[in-house]
Amino acid sequence: MGADENLETVLRSATKEVAIGHHRRFCLIGERINPTGRKIFQEQLRAGDLSAIERDVKAQVEGGADVLDVNMGVPLTDEPELLARAIQLVQSLTDLPICIDSSVVEALEAGLSVYQGRALVNSVTAEDDRLAAILPLVKKYDAAVIALPNDHDEIPMEADKRLDLTAKIIRVATEEYGIAKADIVIDPLAMPIGADTSTALVTMETMRRIRDEHGVNMTCGASNTSFGMPDRHTLGAAWLPMAMTAGLTSAIMDTRTPQIVDAVKAADVFLNHDEWGMAWIAAHRAKAAATA
């Protein structure tokens, strides 16, 4: 038990490896390849036009993404077929590993079956039927998985309940499906503070306890936290470094926002996850050279 296990979640594309860990630099998972709330993108995808994905890949990669989340949840489409096509397209455009994002089990399987490398599956909950549907796929395709400690559509508001469900997920995944503990990435459930600012404290407590009691890696949808609030970039740039000190090791986020990306990279320096600040210095030099 505990964080001294130094668990690392290793993801791969055909040619590149990315490791998520408590002693490594924060892993930025680019969230943009997702049609949710994007009407024009949805219409293009319904018509079989995937060209916007190229722009999104380029923007997320240039912004500093380490991994790309690919979601093709478009109503009135064949999501398994669409997700498989999108993953193949993304893999032809970049060597970054992929987080395969769907609530449809058949789509996850379609995506995993064409993916070259070792993917991150997004996601499973603590509900028995979801664990039974998704964990065999994770094992079959030797993937890693994001797991949310909620059940029956209820998001527990107390850290204790989230910890109980985290322990359940880890137990079931490791003991019943033989999935390595390092391959379970827990989402501690970062809720929008616009509805209740105290939720952020519960999430931080959850993160600290998951890190101390289980040592597993964690991720979350970073932009969730500022939903409904003004000046969301400033909130995100404050929240992520705070979450990093509590044990968050990756986040699904829009890497097109330099203010937030820079805050994360700066936090890496102070947490001693960027030895001698070399990555920070190199990035600064590259920027200076580009504008010279």
Distance CA 68, CA 111 (A): 14
Distance CA 44, CA 50 (A): 7
If pLDDT is split at 50, 70 and 90, which confidence band does 4 have?
A: low
| CA count, 13 A, side-chain hemisphere, 151 | 13
Nearest to 240 by CA among 260, 213, 215, 270: 260
If pLDDT is split at 50, 70 and 90, which confidence band does 292 have?
A: confident
- The fraction of the chain above a pLDDT of 90, given in percent, is 96
Distance CA 26, CA 185 (A): 14
Model confidence at 3: pLDDT above 60 = no
Nearest to 10 by CA among 184, 164, 213: 184
Q: Within a 10 A sphere around the Cβ of 37, how many other Cβ atoms?
A: 7
Nearest to 192 by CA among 220, 158, 211: 220
* Residues near 288 by beta carbon (within 8 Å), at least 6 away in sequence: none
Average pLDDT score, the chain: 96
Q: What pLDDT is recorded for position 1?
A: 45
Distance CA 212, CA 208 (A): 6
Q: What pLDDT is recorded for position 152?
A: 85
Task: Specify the long-range contacts of residues 51-59, CB closer than 8 Å, at least 24 apart.
Answer: 53/86, 53/89, 53/90, 53/93, 54/89, 54/93, 56/32, 57/33, 57/90, 57/93, 57/94, 58/93, 59/32, 59/255, 59/256
Q: What pLDDT is recorded for position 154?
A: 82
pLDDT, tens digit, for every residue of 76-129?
Answer: 999 999 999 999 999 999 999 999 999 999 999 999 999 999 999 999 999 999
Model confidence at 6: pLDDT above 50 = yes
Model confidence at 225: pLDDT above 60 = yes
Model confidence at 134: pLDDT above 80 = yes
Distance CA 113, CA 101 (A): 14
Which amino acid does the sequence have at 162? R
pLDDT, tens digit, for every residue of 31-61?
Answer: 999 999 999 999 999 999 999 999 999 999 9
Q: What pLDDT is recorded for position 5?
A: 73
Q: What pLDDT is recorded for position 47?
A: 95
Find the mean pLDDT for residues 228-251.
97
18 phi and psi angles, rounded to 5 deg: -130, 130
